[in-house]
Amino acid sequence: MNIIPRIHFAHLPTAIETMPRLEEALHGPHLLVKRDDQTGLAFGGNKTRKLEFLVAEAQAGAADTLITAGALQSNHCRQTAAAAAKFGLGCTLVLVGEPPAQASANLLLDQQFGAKIIWVEKSLRDMALKQAFEQAIAQGHRPYLVPYGGSNPTGALGYAFAMQEFVGQGIKADWIVFASSSGGTQAGLVLGAAVFGYTGKVLGISVDEPQAVLQERVAKLASETSERLGAHLNFKQEEVLVNADYSAPGYGVLTGAEREAIQLFAKYEGLLLDPVYTGRAAAGLIDLIRKGFFKPDETILFWHTGGQPALFAEQYQSKLV
């Protein structure tokens, strides 16, 4: 295996817990949860694993500034800003939307970490990101562009090794279910399953993308990431398991299904989900259990990718009461 730069700052391995009360309430299969909401950096989340590799690559290139983009309440941007603060780097965030009258949740944390924020409409995001990068160079900085969601071969390594971690914990799961959007987490898990010997099924619940789009994205990224490991694997689109049945409302649109999932996880397990990613993935998981998609004797692991600070965003508070 190739030598890969990595900075170890996540709190790993993350715990795996049973969810007996939720399992009983749903009359479903055996339920586990892997707590990547507890990776340690700025309230944790899945991006921390990716940033161990992305920040290492940035430092190897002598970068002094991290630049990335995301939604107004982006978990990725929050963790990137925190990593920049932790390692003494500058940080510029290109956020889609209008600046609110008062910052809350992830945006408030971005500001606490000292990130410079550029506001744009979605159609101008990529152009604004390019301009921010060029401006940083013109100002004498050495910027490093962190991809959207941390989802490139460098970032996806975080979840290839997360799968190695899970396999090493020796706990059997027939299915791993989680939120999938930019594709880096799923690509890493798919690659890690092939390389480190996980024989169950890896099912991404799409947050916002059509099934075919996400399958193609994940297969391509998993194949590219395998080169970094020296594995040289070629994943096919049909090998990637994606359920996009719950993505129709659109990114960040909270429905009754997400509200119920958040409330059930809180009520029965004391676990907090977020309204955009884990809430939607959990809603999908709950619906699939109710429909009998999983066999009664199977074990399902819900990979909790974090995002809880978004619960405290103004636009969600009233809807979650």
- Tokens 């940080």, located at residue: 91
Residues 6+ apart with CB under 8 A from 135: none
Q: How many CB atoms within 10 Å of residue 321?
A: 5
The dihedral formed by the CA atoms of 74, 96, 154 and 9, expressed in degrees to the nearest 10: -30
CA distance 33 to 269: 10
Q: Looking at residue 241, what DSSP letter applies?
A: E
Spell out the alpha helix ranges (H) of the chain.
20-26, 47-60, 75-86, 105-112, 125-138, 153-168, 184-196, 211-229, 256-269, 278-290, 314-317
CA distance 187 to 103: 33
Q: How many CB atoms within 10 Å of residue 86?
A: 15
CA distance 246 to 73: 20
CA distance 264 to 258: 10
Task: Give me the active site residues, please.
Answer: 74
Buried-exposed string 184-215: b where 16+ CB fall within 10 A, e elsewhere: bbbbbbbbbbbbbebeeebbbbbbbbebeebb
Beta-bridged to residue 34, according to DSSP, are 16, 303
Nearest to 106 by CA among 132, 77, 134: 77
Three-state secondary-structure class, residue 296: coil
